[in-house]
Amino acid sequence: MSANPSSPPVYADIADAAARLQGQAVRTPLLRNDVLDARLDARIFVKAECLQRTGSFKFRGAFNRISRMNSEEKQSGVLAYSSGNHAQGVAAAARLNGTTAKILMPSDAPRAKVEGVEFWGGEVVDYDRGRDNREEMGRAIADAEGRILVPPYEDPFIIAGQGTAGLEAVEQMAEFGEAPDIVVCCAGGGGLIAGVGLAVKHHHPDAQIWSAEPVGFDDYRRSIASGRRETNERLTGSICDAIITPTPGELTWSINSTQLTDGAAVSDEEALDAMAFAWRHMKIVVEPGGVAALAAVLSGKIDVAGRSVCVLATGGNVDRAVFAQALERL
Amino acid sequence: MSANPSSPPVYADIADAAARLQGQAVRTPLLRNDVLDARLDARIFVKAECLQRTGSFKFRGAFNRISRMNSEEKQSGVLAYSSGNHAQGVAAAARLNGTTAKILMPSDAPRAKVEGVEFWGGEVVDYDRGRDNREEMGRAIADAEGRILVPPYEDPFIIAGQGTAGLEAVEQMAEFGEAPDIVVCCAGGGGLIAGVGLAVKHHHPDAQIWSAEPVGFDDYRRSIASGRRETNERLTGSICDAIITPTPGELTWSINSTQLTDGAAVSDEEALDAMAFAWRHMKIVVEPGGVAALAAVLSGKIDVAGRSVCVLATGGNVDRAVFAQALERL
């Protein structure tokens, strides 16, 4: 480890992460769709991170962080807590870097996500959402076993790793002869949008960066408006489970507060409609949290007419029952 | 038009088609999946033609054929009959080449497919499957209006256009440092597999080319075994509607008979299971006919252990109800 874990990353860290991820992460396609462009009267480019290894962008940051561990650290392994995409990204990155992962997951986590971690040899440690304090449990394990905690977003290597998705999108748009006027990205803790914003702004300083969040969990949208980190009232109650966090991270906010133009908040119904659109017209599987940015443009929350717009579709790990709900809306 | 419409295409025609399709067709991604490779103990590369414009590979051949029309021919337009992917490919290719398309579709064609044709300005002409002879109707319209018939596979430009998918796959595998030992491709009339085989064999003469078909509609598999064009007993009764044809085409068979190694036949259940696998692990939407090749390897019908295998996933235009059936099998 060379970087200071509390210093925000800069563009060079993203370029460095991209070199690390070469041959490990998928250079996911940037998809165009004729129906989408016609409906919005715009040129929309969808960065399909649902096609990333482990089904979401989380692999990028996890791999970048874990690949920096020295051999002594790798002996002890890593630890993470997550019920979803970060868990699978960390488990895969640990295996591919020759170390081990313990993942704290709630005992009611979907079977498919537990299996995703186990496929990569990750050891799942159950906790009870009602009874256990996962942070305390995690700290106890980390202390006892010398494992390094891999946080979901408050880490410069994680942010730089996620930013490689934005760097690729900029390069891929250039192959189409395009530059983004607007970039729309979902925001939970804000690691992805921070890294993507850094990458995009480096090449296109005038590009607008918009966050997309669920209605009622739009802490980023409100924080941009007020200029300080706002907190959501609740921590449950949206179908977009992957992007519900209490408040912007300190480190991520130090970046995002200087880069974000504005935010859009989408309803569960708008997310489901966007999932159905992606299924029907684009032939990709996107989860509710991962489709928030597409939902924001499809529902007209961001004025994109006549513009070149990059939309991130960030993950595809969705339960069958939720997906069926989306299809029923067609 | 320069080529003789009854002469089989050669490799140079595919390279020429690739140049025509530049900037028009999507260079669809070649996807890898860790779960798939682990399950089959092989290196599997899935050419995701479901992500092609109009949702299937059919756009490639249609565009290549229609782009060869002279301005007089374009004044009169084209005609096709198809209830599915070919219809949408022809409608899109006609619009993009500045001509018009009339498409004969059965009156019970799914609404989504009719809308797909209409999106591209194609004029849909209904016929009654029980009462009307669509070939006679088509001939009458073509004669009266001077429209050129765009056949689904018996045409050298169509075959060469479809072959560009195989050419791309070979190039993309080379980027991974790989060459195909085995290529698996669904076969209806056999235009796609003929073109893909030509492209693959040019670069890798020893590669095996396998057809994948529905059980009971495995005319290619049986024709390879007997050495002559066999006919299916029925024309309905498989969920893989996109690849049901009575017998190999004459032109396509003249190519395929020299290139195909063997064929595999998959059941409806195996196709549905492969669709569910692609949804869950790969995050792509594949229709029953389009998933036949993946089903053939997942069900163990082709011995792929230790090999580099290219599998074509050829389309994603599937009805919601059929897709729901697949998800229920998870």
Per residue in A59-110, pLDDT (tens digit) is: 999 999 999 999 999 999 999 998 789 999 999 999 999 999 999 998 888 8
Q: Which candidate, B125, B108, B138, places its Cα nearest to that of B241?
A: B108
Q: What is the mean pLDDT of residues A235-260?
A: 94
CA distance A251 to A195: 11
End-to-end CA distance of chain A: 49
B33-82 pLDDT, tens digit per residue, is: 999 999 999 999 999 999 999 999 999 999 999 999 999 999 999 999 88
CA distance B9 to B102: 26
**Which one of B283, B325, B327, B328 would you mutate to disrupt binding with A, by most A Cβ within 10 Å of its Cβ?**
B283
Q: Do A283 and B316 touch (CB under 8 A)?
A: yes
Question: Which strands make up the sheet holding B30-31, listed edge to edge?
Answer: B30-31, B43-48, B308-313, B182-186, B208-214, B262-266
CB-count burial class (<10 Å; 0-12, 13-18, 19+) for B215:
middle
Residue A309 contacts residue A45 (beta carbons within 8 Å) = yes
Query: Least CA distance to B118: which residue of chain A?
Result: A35
CB-count burial class (<10 Å; 0-12, 13-18, 19+) for A68:
middle
pLDDT confidence bin for A135, thresholds 50/70/90: confident
Contacts of A119 in chain B (CB under 8 A): 34-35, 38
pLDDT confidence bin for A3, thresholds 50/70/90: low
User: Can you read off the two tokens belonging to residue B193?
Assistant: 């597999």
CA distance B169 to B183: 10
Q: What is the mean pLDDT of residues B190-219?
A: 98
Residue B216 contacts residue B233 (beta carbons within 8 Å) = yes
Q: Which candidate, A199, A250, A242, places its Cα nearest to that of A223?
A: A250
Query: Least CA distance to B327: which residue of chain A?
Result: A320
A281-314 pLDDT, tens digit per residue, is: 999 999 999 999 999 999 999 999 999 999 999 9
What is the pLDDT, as a whole number, of residue A94? 98
Of B34, B316, B327, the CB nearest to A323: B327
- Positive or negative CA dihedral for B41, B196, B290, A329? positive
B98-153 pLDDT, tens digit per residue, is: 999 999 998 888 888 899 999 999 999 999 988 998 889 999 999 999 999 999 99
Contacts of A279 in chain B (CB under 8 A): 285, 323
pTM here is: 0.97
Where is A81: in which H helix or E strand? strand A78-81
B218-265 pLDDT, tens digit per residue, is: 999 999 999 999 999 998 899 998 899 999 999 999 999 999 999 999
Is the predicted pLDDT of residue B165 greater than 60, yes or no? yes
CA distance B150 to B85: 13
Q: Which long-range contacts (CB under 8 A, 24 or more apart) does B277-282 make?
A: B277/B36, B278/B313, B279/A285, B279/A323, B279/B323, B279/B326, B279/B327, B280/A112, B280/B330, B281/A55, B281/B33, B281/B35, B281/B36, B282/A51, B282/B31, B282/B33, B282/B36, B282/B46
What is the pLDDT, as a whole number, of residue B241? 87
**Which one of A168, A172, A283 would you mutate to disrupt binding with B, by most B Cβ within 10 Å of its Cβ?**
A283
User: Can you read off the two tokens belonging to residue A47?
Assistant: 């960065």
Q: Do A29 and B29 touch (CB under 8 A)?
A: yes
The complex scores an ipTM of 0.97
End-to-end CA distance of chain B: 49
What is the pLDDT, as a whole number, of residue B3? 53
Q: DSSP character for A56?
A: B
Residue A1 contacts residue A69 (beta carbons within 8 Å) = yes
CA distance B237 to A238: 42
| Contacts of residue B140, Cβ cutoff 8 Å, sequence gap at least 6 | none
Q: Do B29 and A51 touch (CB under 8 A)?
A: yes
